Copies of this chain bind each other. A is one copy, B any other.
């Protein structure tokens, strides 16, 4: 099944494509998407201005490609790692870990994914209907499975729980991006999961707390 093996040799064309994508990440992260000039992306990729348009349909399509390319790799990895797991709780842990690891290791990419790709409603909808939707759907499946098996509460709406989990992780990454002295992003994995699993109110007070 050639094409699905991510470790195979790249064709020259694929190689240059990747090189441009990487350059775009660096430049978009450094200057911001709107301030960034295509000329600078070309320069960073060591390629002529016009060449960009032989690989991408324009600036916006380049940004979209950065996003989808990154998420595709991430989703593949996620699926692969989850194959060996049955426990939804363990799956959720892995998902959060991979999410934090992937972004924690590449700050420029994180910046582009978290901030630059969210510049308009129109663009965000585009993302939601693409790879991001696939990712959220994966998360939703885990939550649903956990509820079916009884390891997650059944009395919270599945979609809402998905939303809370994603929102929490997403905001954590945002704060890490905005921090003046960002530490290791993955250090929060444990505490974050603890809070998501157990909530903020001790069990003995649960009756009066909600509602």
Query: Which A residues are within 8 Å of any B CB, using their own CB?
Result: 32-35, 89, 111, 115-116, 118-122, 124-125, 128, 143, 146, 150-153, 155-157, 160-161, 163-172, 174-175, 177-178, 188, 190-203, 205-206, 209-211
Point out the residues of chain B lying under 8 angstroms from A89, CB to CB: 201, 209
Shortest CB–CB separation between residue A195 and chain B, in angstroms?
5
| Bound-state Cα–Cα, A209 to B210, Å | 21
| Bound-state Cα–Cα, A166 to B202, Å | 20
Q: When the two chains form the complex, which single residue of B155, B174, B178, B188 contacts A160, counting CB atoms closer than 8 Å?
A: B188
Point out the residues of chain B lying under 8 angstroms from A128, CB to CB: 178
Shortest CB–CB separation between residue A120 and chain B, in angstroms?
4
Q: Are B194 and A151 in contact (CB under 8 A)?
A: no
Assuming A160-B188, A190-B210, what are 16 further A-B pairs, CB within 8 angstroms?
A32-B119, A32-B120, A35-B120, A115-B120, A115-B124, A124-B174, A150-B202, A152-B201, A153-B199, A153-B200, A160-B191, A160-B195, A165-B200, A168-B171, A170-B171, A195-B199
